[in-house]
């Protein structure tokens, strides 16, 4: 049995290996106290507590959406970050006694999110806060129903009285969901935060949500919120990998521009 790298995979594999090795290395160094690097601030994530606090003062509900990406799809990682946000928000709302509503757009999110909210309530010392089938709601199996139900929940006339909206996770790659939900939240006077790594949606999120988490920031969400040293270590590893890539790209471009013509002709 012999292994060979799949065609066109050499560069991708090297990239993967670089990030993996750096993540493991920096994680080891940080957990053992040998290395201490500051993690950069993500302004939007620092505002989650403010949003929960405001919703609590107004007697409203904090709504968290995990998107409509299936866990078998390529957008699943964004939904996983949505679960991490659910965990954090549920702990805070359970402590404060604030109403929580988690909306899912794919049925495979539900068992995970139900379990997450239940665990968060126990950790917050308020196990009675979790009510089966009340706080987690499946509102759609695809983009259209997910967005329409979200709009209905954001309606000022809705009995849910949503005062803060946090939307994470892929929504199936539809560029329209960002402005639609962001706009509805804005019209209803709801504080909104959106997170996506989808390049087609990023500009919409920045323009329409009060706070936006874009690009790789969303993948740092769980590490940032939990402040777990080992997870933060992997984020640092990623940042170092990014710097190496930037140097390689800029250096490579400069090299090709200056000497490339001579070398390749």
Partner 1 sequence: MAMPYITRRLPLTVLFIATSITIVNYFFRGSPELSTSAKMLNNWAVVLFAFALAVGIVQLTVLRSRWIMNPKETPRRRGLSVLFLVEMWIITIIGLLQSSKGAQFSWISQNIYTTLNGAQYGMIGFYITLACYKTMKVRRWDIAIFTIVCWIHLVANTPLVSYFIGFGWFNFSQWIYFWPSTAGGKALTIIAALGMVSVGVRGMLGLERGVLGGGGG
The widest CA-to-CA distance across the chain, in whole angstroms, is: 74
Structure token pair of residue 222 = 């769980």
Q: Are 171 and 121 in contact (CB under 8 A)?
A: no
Contact between 255 and partner 1 (CB under 8 A)? no
Long-range contacts of 142-147 (CB under 8 A, 24+ apart): 142/68, 142/105, 142/172, 143/68, 143/105, 143/171, 143/172, 143/174, 143/177, 145/105, 146/67, 146/68, 146/103, 146/105, 146/171, 146/177, 147/171, 147/176, 147/177, 147/180, 147/181
Least distance CB 6 / partner 1 (angstroms): 5
Residues 224-253 close enough to bind partner 1 by CB under 8 A: 228, 230-231, 234-235, 237-238, 241-242, 245
| Residue 35 Cβ vs partner 1, minimum distance, rounded to whole Å | 17
CB atoms within 10 A of CB 18: 16
From candidates 48, 81, 191, 213, binder to partner 1 by CB under 8 A: 81
Q: What residues does 193 pair with on adjacent strands?
A: 166, 211
- Binding to partner 1 in span 19-58, by CB under 8 A: 19-20, 23-24, 27
Scanning residues 100 to 119, which ones bind partner 1 (CB under 8 A)?
107-108, 110-116, 118-119
| Closest CB to partner 1 among residues 53, 122 | 122
User: Among 63, 64, 84, 188, which residue sits at the site for partner 1 (rule: CB under 8 A)?
Assistant: 84
**Closer residue to partner 1 (CB): 56 or 118:** 118
* Contacts (CB under 8 A) with partner 1, residues 168-207: 176, 178-180, 182-184, 186-187, 197, 199, 202-204, 206-207
- Of 46, 50, 127, 144, the residue at the interface with partner 1 (CB under 8 A) is 144
Place of tokens 């521009």: 257
CA–CA dist 209, 53 (Å, integer): 18
Q: How far is the CB of 262 from partner 1 (least distance, A)?
A: 25
* Count of residues in contact with partner 1, rule CB under 8 A: 86
Q: Which of 38, 133, 157, 227 binds partner 1 (CB under 8 A)?
A: 133
């Amino acid at each position: 049995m012999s292994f060979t790298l799949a065609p066109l995979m050499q560069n991708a594999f090297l990239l993967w290996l670089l990030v993996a090795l750096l993540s493991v290395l920096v994680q080891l160094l940080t957990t053992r106290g040998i290395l201490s690097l500051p993690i950069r601030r993500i302004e939007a994530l620092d505002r989650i507590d403010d949003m929960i606090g405001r919703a609590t003062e107004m007697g409203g509900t904090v709504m968290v959406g995990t998107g409509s990406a299936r866990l078998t799809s390529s957008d699943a990682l964004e939904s996983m970050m949505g679960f991490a946000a659910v965990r954090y928000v549920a702990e805070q709302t359970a402590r404060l006694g604030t109403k929580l509503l988690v909306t899912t757009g794919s049925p495979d999110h539900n068992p995970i999110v139900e379990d997450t909210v239940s665990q968060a309530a126990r950790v917050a010392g308020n196990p009675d806060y979790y009510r089966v089938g009340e706080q987690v709601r499946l509102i759609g199996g695809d983009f259209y129903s997910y967005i329409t139900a979200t709009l209905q929940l954001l309606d000022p006339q809705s009995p849910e009285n949503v005062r803060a909206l946090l939307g994470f996770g892929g929504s199936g790659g539809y560029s329209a969901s960002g402005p639609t939900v962001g706009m509805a939240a804005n019209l209803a006077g709801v504080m909104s935060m959106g997170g996506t790594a989808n390049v087609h949606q990023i500009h919409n999120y920045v323009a329409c949500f009060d706070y936006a988490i874009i690009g790789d920031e969303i993948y740092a969400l769980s590490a940032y919120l939990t402040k777990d040293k080992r997870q933060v270590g992997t984020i640092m590893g990623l940042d170092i990998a990014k710097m190496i890539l930037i140097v390689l790209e800029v250096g490579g471009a400069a090299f090709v521009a200056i000497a490339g013509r001579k070398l390749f002709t």
